[in-house]
Amino acid sequence: MSNCVVCAPYDPLIHVDSLARAYVPYQKICTLFTLEESLVNGTVFPELYKPYMKEGCKK
């Protein structure tokens, strides 16, 4: 019984850094939460505050 491991062939022409790219748009910082609000909401930026709402719940 042999311990043979089959691997994909190595191709030096494939650059790992080109497989995926992130897009992050610029964010305008217009307002900030207070320290107390930031601790409760988990962010200092009101634009990023998106509370989880179960389907059917509305405030």
The rounded average pLDDT for each run of 10 residues, N- to C-terminus, in the chain (59 residues) is 57 60 77 94 90 70
Per-residue pLDDT, 12: 62
pLDDT for the residue 27: 73
Residue indicated by tokens 């491991």? 5
Considering only CA atoms, which of 57, 31, 21 is closest in space to residue 48?
A: 31
**What is the per-residue pLDDT for 9?**
59
pLDDT value at position 34? 95
Non-local CB neighbours of 53 within 8 Å, separated by 6+ positions? 59
Residues 43/32, Cβ–Cβ less than 8 Å: no
Q: Is the pTM of this model over 0.85?
A: no
